[in-house]
Amino acid sequence: MKHIHIQWTCIIALLLVIGVSCEDLDELNINPNGVDPETADLNLLLPTTITSLGQNITSLGFGDIAGVMQHTQKDGWSGGHNDYDWDNLSHNWAGWYGILRNNEEMYHKAVDGNYIFHQGAALVLRAYAFGMISDLWGAAPYDEALKAEEGSQFFKPKYNKQLDIYTSLLSDLEAANNLLSNPQSSYSNIDPSQDLLFEGDVSKWQKFSNSLALRYYMRLSAKEPDIAKNGISKIITNPDTYPLILSTSDDANIAYSGNSPGDSWPTTEAFKADPSSNYMRVKMCATFVDTLLKYEDPRIGVWANKVGIPLELVPGEDVDQIVNGVRQVSSDVVQKYENDFKEDQVEVNFNPNYVGIPVQINSAGFYNMNPSIPQGVYNPHVSQLADMYKESTGDLLQMRLISAAEVHMILAEAASYGWISSAPEDHYSAGIRESLRAWKVGDQFDAYMERVPYRGLESIITQKWVASWSAAAESWFDYRRTGLPKLETGPSAKRKALPLRFYYHADAEIAKNKSNADEAISWLQPTEFKGQDQTNNSAWSKTWLLQGTGKPY
């Protein structure tokens, strides 16, 4: 965990460099607003890039992708979160390329000054950001991106195919590993207070680089199994050359400063208590809650509050009363409620401790006999998120980039395929152990393991999905690749299958670079869930990474 209180005034000023959108693709290096990165100090560009990356990851993993992966549901203003109500104006990649612009400037400054640490860190951050773009959209500008200053021929960059992007990123991470492999004392110009990830610890950056490489090798496992197998084997059989994040103490997490809404946890109420706030609207999904309850997972008490007023079914007719903090209802009252919302096919949940909202129901705001006015208010009969999620900052409120739990689960999967010699169950249990430690319930590991024994790939991906709470994007990428965990859609879902990618944005990405975007769209493979989308540019089309795999559908 990190407790660095950074110079947020400088950070926010520099964040204006990246913005959240670009007027045209010829702005891949240049933004007329905010601080010019060319004049910014190298050690201010580093925290700016780290923070922007972390905020984007949290926005996905605690936002819409948490809805896709059924970690959470919203009970007000929920279409994009619960129902995949996306289209070609829903998401764009401008913010990601903004991160890369700043990072590219940092890299060039590092090369010019012969600052080896910053070169290595920049390559790791570059691999992370470009990898997310390809993970989320598919083919994307890569070779010709970030080159606008070199001439107008790069104003409308060509798109690279996914395999080209991933293999290039793995090459960058190999270079980063080499740059970051020297003794700490050999590096210069490191300001620990500006390194929000590892406080200037070069060895931890090296572990980050190699752990990210593992992620990308496994990403390629279905399409290029030989590349994946050889890459993972190379790393795991040479631990001195390729150290990994294997302990929670090395997790790539970024703390929030909590000085303003912009540098605070997304559901904070520290600056404004609002009965319809983000905190009030976000509830745990029943899919997730039921899994946690099934295995008596100790993390549920860290992530969610118990039900404020439990429901109890009692004998009689027309009974609806609160007695000793419990709402007692008779079966006829329950039946009337269930009939009123029969299109959702939900039943009243009488669990006295934790209740989640069923996935994609039209009546999310009314669920479980909610007596309050719907649209994102307190529901006494559903679990709210834990109180810590009202705060702006805290030990467990972290932007989570990659963890020891994820690394061990990747190794468990690789071992299950026979790609490495260690036992998959050993890495599986280690992944669970590190996740429990990360959420401060490590003392319950032994008892928990008795309830979740190793049972092959499904158990690995399920526990990886659980461990990805608040960083759900990675579990989405696993789901697409493996079809696990087995998630079903609900009545209000826009399509009867989980989405597979983001649409290329009609204005920001297609209209301004049409011929190259159209070519990339032609590389997509539509599925039966394409629906009314007029081209293959659909959230239900398969990128190269999934084509021919039969996954997830």
Domain positions in the chain are 8-65+100-261, 278-390
No. of H helices and E strands in the chain?
19, 11
Residue 71 and residue 81: Cα distance in Å, rounded? 11
Mean pLDDT, the chain, rounded, equals 93
Compute φ and ψ for 254, nearest 5 degrees. Answer: -125, 125
In angstroms, the first-to-last Cα distance of the chain is: 38
Q: What is the DSSP letter of 502?
A: P
Q: Tens digits of per-residue pLDDT, 192-239? A: 999 999 999 999 999 999 999 999 999 999 999 999 999 999 999 999
Q: What is the DSSP letter of 252?
A: E
- pTM score, two decimals? 0.93
- Decide: 285 and 359 in contact? Cβ < 8 Å: yes
Q: How many CA atoms lie within 13 A of 56 on its CB side?
A: 27
CATH architecture of 8-65+100-261: Alpha Horseshoe (1.25)
Residue 160 and residue 144: Cα distance in Å, rounded? 9
**For residue 223, how far is the Cα from the chain centroid?**
23
Output the CA torsion 233→234→235→241 (10° steps): 150
pLDDT at 27: 40
Residue 417 and residue 285: Cα distance in Å, rounded? 32
- Decide: 140 and 161 in contact? Cβ < 8 Å: no
Output the CA torsion 163→168→171→177 (10° steps): -110
For residue 243, whether the previous peptide bond is cis, meaning omega lies within 30 degrees of 0, is no
Task: Report which of 124, 230, 104 is spatially closest to residue 175, judged by C-alpha positions.
Answer: 124
pLDDT at 407: 98
- Decide: 457 and 488 in contact? Cβ < 8 Å: no
pLDDT at 270: 92
The type of residue at 27 is: E
Name the residue with higher pLDDT: 22 or 451: 451
Residue 418 and residue 412: Cα distance in Å, rounded? 10
Over 50: is that where the pLDDT of 81 sits? yes
Predicted confidence band of residue 37 (pLDDT cuts 50, 70, 90): low
- Which residue has tokens 């009609």? 506
Residue 45 and residue 50: Cα distance in Å, rounded? 9
Q: Tens digits of per-residue pLDDT, 344-371? A: 999 999 999 999 999 999 999 999 999 9
As a whole-number percent, the residues of the chain with pLDDT over 90 amount to 89
Q: Tens digits of per-residue pLDDT, 242-295? A: 999 999 999 999 999 999 999 999 999 999 878 778 899 999 999 999 999 999
Q: How many CA atoms lie within 13 A of 442 on its CB side?
A: 12
